[in-house]
Amino acid sequence: MANFLRSYIKPSEIMLFKDEKTGLFTDLYELTMAQGYFFSGKQSDKATFEYFFRNNPFQGGFTVFAGLADFLDLLVEFSFSNSDLQYLSHQGFKKEFLAFLADFRFAGNISSVKEGELVFPYEPVVKVEGNILECQLIESMLLNILNFESLIATKAYRIKLAAGGRPFSDFGMRRAQGLAAIHASRAAVIGGASSTSNVLAGKIFGIPVAGTQAHSWIQSFDTELEAFRTYAKIHPENTTLLIDTYDTLKSGVPNAIILAKEMEQQGAELKAIRLDSGDMAYLSRHARKMLDDAGLQSVKIVASNQLNEYIINTLLKDQNAAIDIFGVGTEMVTGKPDAALDGVYKLVCLNETPRMKFSENTEKTTLPGKKQLVRYFDTEGQFFRDGILLADENPLETDMIYHPFYPEKYTSLSHLRCENLLSEVVAEGQILQVNRDLITIHNYLLTRAACLPAEHKRFFSPHIYKMGISQKLMNLRNELSKKYNH
């Protein structure tokens, strides 16, 4: 599967309408502010915005960053067609501003962590620099893509952890929120899914597609065995049978065994049987014994139906289920039970002057200034701490980081190896080399996850990964706090 992205097609070709540009893929207030910047003479002001989130999803200990390549592909298409401009004219936008939008292209710079990176709350995961107007216009699109794909990739990796090396497939298209199914399938593969039932996502991203039959196929024949035989005749190289239409153990498995023996005589092989209802642990154990007793040890057992990481975990660890492959749908592609990742996009610098947002809720007060994100490793090569430093600081000379809200808590960083997690991905509007190979991105996630201590990966009460800010950043924040809060 290493070369499966040769058929890659830009997501922008299916995003919204094929013949439309993406300039209107934004919230109205981005455009009203942009027009305000334009007429107030601020459109040339140099701004820095940062993207971060405040909480890990699923009450977990980490977040998998995803969606970067999709966002950048949409970014290069972010422009306004004649019909867009006519529409905005009807919404009351002024002709001078619309003339400006006619030639609009993003020409700024963007730095980001890599897709597949493990990141944590309050860290500046993406940095956008340019004039304030262009930085503002792309805000909603950035949040839409990065928040959603990071949510789904995180969910998928949690499922991978629960599955313990067993493959699982994305079966969620029919329960996804509209076209979000396309990006959900991509994010699911980043998180660890081995295939998708979503054929369009398979084509766009080169993801292997997987699927069997529905109960309607079985019901459309007079007998279950006739349905099995007909399907195997048409798909002899890839036969997986749905066995729970009538009675799993009294009908489905026995008929599957009959067909498997018939296929053996013809030089073919039954690949798997699928359970889609009932007591998965009980049925899979008994089905496995029946298959083994018939000499069909090679036939796999697939399970689907409202699965999530918790159900998979208990099936395998507590109930000794004999399941080889999982089909995961609704809960993965919708990010259940979390509706969204709470990522935000905040102005941190304007014309080289640090800016910050204040709030009565300490957690919603932002960190000012252009920053860098640095990861420190312990002597065993494990993630130890993440440090948020000002852009002009030398990480090797930063000996201490402080809790962003409780400065009395601090950590010494002396003699620790570190790496800067942000790298430039867009320079003056031009996309630099960005990895789009989903298997490579997933493998990167695996190498990073191997460096994250196990206590952060558990599902219940995971250990909180610690991050801190430098003394210089803390001083800057305190100075601005005193300035604006006399």
CA distance readout (Å), 282 to 107, 112, 253, 292, 345: 59, 47, 13, 16, 48
Are 168 and 327 in contact by the 8 Å Cβ rule? The answer is yes
As a whole number of angstroms, the distance between CA 426 and CA 4 comes to 25
Per residue of the chain (486 residues), give pLDDT as tens: 333 333 444 544 444 444 456 899 999 999 999 999 999 999 999 999 999 999 999 999 999 999 999 999 999 999 999 999 999 999 999 999 999 999 999 999 999 999 999 999 999 999 999 999 999 999 999 999 999 999 999 999 999 999 999 999 999 999 999 999 999 999 999 999 999 999 999 999 999 999 989 999 999 999 999 999 999 999 999 999 999 999 999 999 999 999 999 999 999 999 999 999 999 999 999 999 999 999 999 999 999 999 999 999 999 999 999 999 999 999 999 999 999 999 999 999 999 999 998 877 777 789 999 999 999 999 999 999 999 999 999 999 999 999 998 889 999 998 899 999 999 999 999 999 888 999 999 999 999 999 999 999 999 999 999 999 999 999 999 999 888 874
Give the residue among 382, 403, 373 at the shortest CA–CA distance from 448.
382
Token pair belonging to 256: 């599957």
User: Amino acid letter at 335?
Assistant: G
As a whole number of angstroms, the distance between CA 185 and CA 190 comes to 9
Are 386 and 123 in contact by the 8 Å Cβ rule? The answer is yes
Question: Which pTM value belongs to this model?
Answer: 0.94
Q: What is the pLDDT of residue 485?
A: 74
Which domains does the chain carry?
4-153+338-484 (3.20.140.10)
Q: What is the pLDDT of residue 414?
A: 87
